[in-house]
Structure 1
């Protein structure tokens, strides 16, 4: 079905854990009208959305490939699944991904893997980012890897996801102590921010500006505390080097 023939329908590009149709339909409660594997030429996957250090340091996003960007020089074009859904369902996707706090709505042109035809896509890109990119948790990467397999993406792309480095907590007792202290302080705070966001989501799927400002400031404080207080004392919680 051509999305341009139906104003209420669009193709949503899932490149993260939503690549699994079972998860997308189950946890999101969205039954797509159609699904097809696609890739976006000239766009790459990055783990640049800041999460919670020592636990879930980062989450995935996409951006255009830059010629001088050494970080993604040899990475493949991002692949994923295009779901044909309604505009209302897409608003639900936006709400479930934080209501415009960490992600923003973007448009791109993808290529269907099965027949090479083009498809206009809506998806979520970075509204917040951290550079260099923290490493994602094994749990989170496992969701992407399984989603790619469920979507029957190319073996090369699945292997690329398998090879991405993940956050490995240190075996050091001192480092683990720091992680426990940090998470006991900030995990409840993040849970509170999620509750505030969820209860104030607007009809279009986005959070109010005041909520966005509060949550982004909270994330800034969390990472500033990690960088300037906990890292010098206990070691990094973003996986960018080893404490040992």
Structure 2
């Protein structure tokens, strides 16, 4: 295969045509349904509490766990760069080269996929939002992934906001601070991205400082007063 053509393995919201093609303007040459048998789906990419606490990632699979299924897209180098940019310019994910098995004929291909930049221990993984999980479920259904895998996704617990006044007020206060920070980060990613779609190393350090400050604020201060915004009990 030409150096200008890559197989990209999508296991999250990029499985959905509405997201990958229509919203992100990426035009794959073709796609195949595939699985990475060495890894499993997890939610170890830290997001924003009270809104999207966690995003999809993959980690090494234990014996009893289901392999991660997804869509292998054939992309140009420019579209691969766009994937990295639209997934945060390298602030949340690193790229990894893994082996995927095509469901059509059982053959193997080398794919580039995204893995969490921070290897959060599974005991500290948070829950995805219902909105985000809905995108994954729709993408899996749209691409006709194996039924047992679709059932696993449907059964995935999600973060469910409560309707109490205390919780809603706490969310509003938290959002007034950290949603503004998230918007600033988004703007900076687009302004600072390099030719490879990634941001400079100094910005990664700034982002990490803000990320861990936000989660410290949530875990040890805000959630005690207003209720947790990640769907888990500590």
Give the TM-score taking structure 1 as reference length.
0.91
* From 47, 64, 68, the counterpart of 1:78: 68
State the match for 1:184 in structure 2: 176
Cα offset for 1:129? 4.5
Q: What secondary structure does 2:212 align onto?
A: helix
Q: Decide which of 20, 24, 34 is 1:24's aligned counterpart.
A: 20
- Relative to structure 1, the CA distance from residue 166 to residue 92 in structure 2 (aligned partners, 3 Å threshold; closer, same or farther) is same
Q: Which moved more, 1:121-130 or 1:194-203?
A: 121-130
Q: CA offsets, 1:11-70, max 9 Å, x none? A: 0000000012342111121111110000001201111101110111010011222x4xxx
Aligned to 1:222: 214
Aligned-partner SS, 2:113: strand
Question: Which residue is equivalent to 1:148?
Answer: 140
**Corresponding residue to 2:8 among 1, 12, 15:** 12
Q: Secondary structure at the match of 1:219?
A: helix
Name the counterpart of 2:205. Answer: 213
SS in 1 for 2:141: helix
- 2:154, 2:77 → 1: CA distance? 33
Match of 2:102?
112
What is aligned with 2:165?
173
Comparing 198-207 with 171-180, which one deviates more in the overlay? 171-180
Q: 2:118 matched to 1:128? A: yes
For residue 61 of structure 1, give the secondary structure of its aligned residue in structure 2: strand
Question: Deviation at 1:181?
Answer: 0.7
Counterparts of 2:120 and 2:162, CA distance in 1: 22
Residue number in structure 2 paired with 1:159: 151
What do the CA deviations read for 1:182-228 (whole angstroms, capped 9, x no partner)? 11111011101111111110001110111111112111111010011
SS in 1 for 2:215: helix
Q: Distance in 2 between matches of 1:107 and 1:19?
A: 18
SS of 1:75's equivalent in the other structure is coil
The equivalences for 1:47-86 within 5 A come to: 47-65=43-61, 67=62, 74-86=64-76
Structure-2-length-normalised TM-score? 0.95
- Alignment match, 1:87: 77
- Distance across 1 between alignment mates of 2:101 and 2:38: 11
Query: Deviation above 6 Å: which 4+ runs of structure 1?
Result: none
The answer to whether 1:197 aligns with 2:193 is no
